[in-house]
Amino acid sequence: MYDVIVIGGGPAGFTAGLYTSRAKLETLIIERAYFGGQMSIANQMENYPGFEGISGSLLADKMLKQAEKFGAKAILDEVVDLDLDSKIKKVITRSGTYEAKSVILCMGASPRKLGLPNEEKLTGSGVSYCATCDGAFFRDREVAVVGGGDTAAEDAIYLSRFCSKVYLIHRRDELRATKTLSDLILSNPKIIPVWNSVVEEIQGEYMVEGIRVRNIKTDDVTDIKLSGLFIAIGYMPNSQLVQGKVELTGDGYIKADENMQTNVPGVFVAGDVREKQLRQVVTAASDGAVAGSSAEQYLSKNKL
């Protein structure tokens, strides 16, 4: 029996685990894929206080080690179901069932898909959701990035370092990305913005060979030959596990009060899966600290 089970091993989960293990609570962190989550694919982070520049994977490693130093146990396993109704919560994974007096939900978010017919089939064969992971495979090739936010802008700039041409396809004629990134995009001769446009088709049988793009203002359709399509159109919360078990927003984010308490006693939330304005590593860590501290107070108040 654990005092706290943290579901998700990203910055929110690691920080929650750091706070609960430091408070001498028996803590288990369960991660389904790879420790660090989305932050581990960030090439260089310049906005985490205390580090002028650090790779996401190195920062993730430091966070995990820090939590483990205070006694948190971290395992790779997939949670498939939860029973949150009783005082003792059950966390059912592929390898067994764990019990805990409290649960902190830190499942994060996953890249949003375009929803095109060939998209899934060609993922890993030219379609990618992670420029820093897959960009190097496209050296001297022509590629496209879809999206107009900070991720799309950073991806396009990153890819322009070694790809011969980078189309940036955005559904409006103005980027959502910060001015600094937008200026870098507009002054980069290798990046070709394709405004007011959406990808309508991904072409290729076994590998991406091109895309069909529709201008939504003129309805003109253009075929672009390329080898890589990087999709950066935002994220979706990984909240399927708690659908019908805790209160969610219409978009599927988990609702909580300022103490990260969900509507279910003993169940807390932290990080990108929570309803909030700013989703960054620093805000995930902040949520994790609050959730960990709230779990500690909950256990102490309820004499659990």
User: Annotated catalytic sites, by residue?
Assistant: 130, 133-134
Minimum distance from CB of 177 to ligand NAP (Å)? 7
Stretch that binds ligand NAP, among 144-152, 203-211, 212-220, 292-300 (CB under 6 A): 144-152
Q: Is 287 one of the binding residues for ligand NAP (CB under 6 A)?
A: no
Query: Which is it for strands 27-31 and 2-7: parallel, antiparallel or unpaired?
Result: parallel
Task: Report the residue number whose CB is nearest to ligand NAP.
Answer: 149
Q: Which of 73, 121, 176, 214: binder of ligand NAP (CB under 6 A)?
A: 176
Nearer to ligand NAP, 72 or 152 (CB): 152
Question: With respect to ligand NAP, which residue has the nearer C-beta, 90 or 171?
Answer: 171
Smaller CB separation from ligand NAP, 23 or 39: 39
149 binds ligand NAP (CB under 6 A): yes
Helix, strand, coil share of the chain (percent; to 5): 25, 30, 45
Which residues in 42-69 are b (16+ Cβ under 10 Å) and which e?
beebeebeeeeebbbbebbeebbebbbe
DSSP 113: P
Is residue 171 a contact point for ligand NAP (CB under 6 A)?
Answer: yes
Q: Are 295 and 104 in contact (CB under 8 A)?
A: yes
The CB-of-131 to ligand NAP minimum distance in angstroms stands at 11
- Assess 241 for contact with ligand NAP (CB under 6 A): no
Give kind and range of the element (H or E) at residue 143.
Answer: strand 142-146
Per rule CB under 6 A, is residue 150 in the interface with ligand NAP?
A: yes
Phi/psi of residue 19, each to 5°? -65, -40
* By CB under 6 A, residue 285 contacts ligand NAP: no
**172, 183, 297, 300: which one contacts ligand NAP (CB under 6 A)?**
172
Q: Does 212 bind ligand NAP (CB under 6 A)?
A: no
Query: Does 148 sit near ligand NAP (CB under 6 A)?
Result: yes
Nearest alpha-carbon partner for 191 in 150, 226, 234, 161 = 161
Supply 136's token pair. Answer: 């190097």
- Residue 106 binds to ligand NAP (criterion: CB under 6 A): no
Q: Given candidates 152, 224, 270, 273, which one binds ligand NAP under the rule CB under 6 A?
A: 152
Q: Total number of residues binding ligand NAP (CB under 6 A)?
A: 19
Helix (H) or strand (E) holding 166: strand 165-169
**Environment class of residue 15 by beta-carbon count within 10 Å: exposed (0-12), middle (13-18) or buried (19+)?**
buried
> How far apart, in Å, are the Cα atoms of 250 and each of 112, 153, 253, 261?
16, 28, 8, 19
32 binds ligand NAP (CB under 6 A): no
Helix axes 179-186, 150-160, angle to 10 degrees: 40
| Residue 34: CB minimum distance to ligand NAP, A | 19
Nearer to ligand NAP, 55 or 66 (CB): 55
Residues near ligand NAP (CB under 6 A) are 47, 112, 146-152, 154, 171-172, 176, 198, 232-235, 279
